[in-house]
């Protein structure tokens, strides 16, 4: 259970359709707007406006670009149309969304990072911290066409559509995970945004069942008085 699907758009506002989304999935949305005076917001026709801003707005130091990343935990089932809207006007936008399954339904995001890249063919970012079994998703959003990309060797390519690119790692080991380096055909400015999504845990309110060595086969949620777990 991990990556399910991804799609992207260049409209303003952006409109992305994810088909047959499963109940309990996590949706991640990345966006870039070529105007640092614009503010973006996101909603969809199934879950409404319950998206949390994970990164952004972050502005590029040399290009007139502003980027965002949002996440919605524990979404409802059904084909979902995601709308990314500017506060005013119709600025040039590049948007990307992905569905991940089996993630924590209360708070899937455990770490995030973003990094800008000057015009060039190598696009990279820093790193995030992940727990064992987490997924790490890296969205790359550019100012103009990349002309096709090659993923970092430790990642799997999930979506490649001109200015919008996604690579990820599933079920990573615990520790610091690098965003890696994506190589594009054309030299372009970009934002790379990385998010680690922790896997689903035990249901809330359910005790963790432990075996007490004093009675074979006896499963209890607390040790007997005067005894300790073995």
pLDDT at 205: 37
User: Prior bond to 18 cis, omega within 30?
Assistant: no
Is 70 among the domain residues?
Answer: yes
pLDDT per position as a tens digit, 174-225: 999 999 999 999 999 999 999 999 999 733 333 333 333 444 444 444 544 5
In a domain, 225, yes or no: no
How far, in Å, CA of 230 to CA of 227, rounded? 9
The domain of 62 spans 3-220
230 within a domain of the structure (yes/no): no
Q: 79-133 pLDDT, tens per residue?
A: 999 999 999 999 999 999 999 999 999 999 999 999 999 999 999 999 999 998 8
The verdict on residue 226 lying in a domain is no
CA distance 155 to 53: 24
Separation between Cα atoms, residue 73 and residue 124, nearest integer Å: 26
Number of domains in the chain: 1
Separation between Cα atoms, residue 77 and residue 140, nearest integer Å:
27
CB contact at 8 A, 38 and 91: yes
Q: What residues have CB less than 8 Å from 215, skipping those under 6 apart? A: none
In a domain, 108, yes or no: yes
């Amino acid at each position: 259970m991990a990556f399910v699907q991804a799609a992207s758009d260049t409209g303003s506002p952006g409109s992305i359709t994810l088909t047959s989304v499963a109940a309990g999935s996590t949706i991640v949305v990345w966006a870039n707007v070529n105007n640092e005076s614009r503010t973006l917001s996101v909603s969809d026709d199934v879950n409404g406006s319950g998206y949390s801003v994970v990164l952004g707005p972050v502005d590029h130091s040399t290009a007139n670009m502003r980027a965002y990343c949002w996440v919605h935990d524990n979404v409802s089932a059904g084909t979902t149309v995601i709308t990314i809207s500017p506060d005013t006007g119709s600025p040039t936008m590049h948007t990307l969304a992905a569905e991940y399954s089996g993630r924590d339904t209360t708070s899937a995001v455990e770490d995030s990072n973003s990094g800008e890249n000057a015009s060039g063919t190598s696009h990279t970012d820093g790193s995030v911290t992940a727990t064992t079994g987490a997924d790490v998703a890296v969205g790359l959003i550019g100012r103009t066409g990349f002309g096709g990309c090659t993923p970092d060797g430790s990642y799997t390519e999930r979506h490649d559509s001109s200015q919008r690119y996604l690579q990820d790692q599933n079920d990573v080991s615990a520790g610091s995970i690098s965003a890696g380096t994506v190589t594009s055909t054309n030299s372009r400015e970009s934002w790379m945004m990385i998010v680690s999504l922790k896997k689903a845990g035990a249901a809330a309110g359910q005790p963790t069942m432990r075996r007490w060595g004093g009675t074979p086969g006896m499963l209890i949620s607390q040790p007997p008085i005067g005894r300790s777990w073995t």
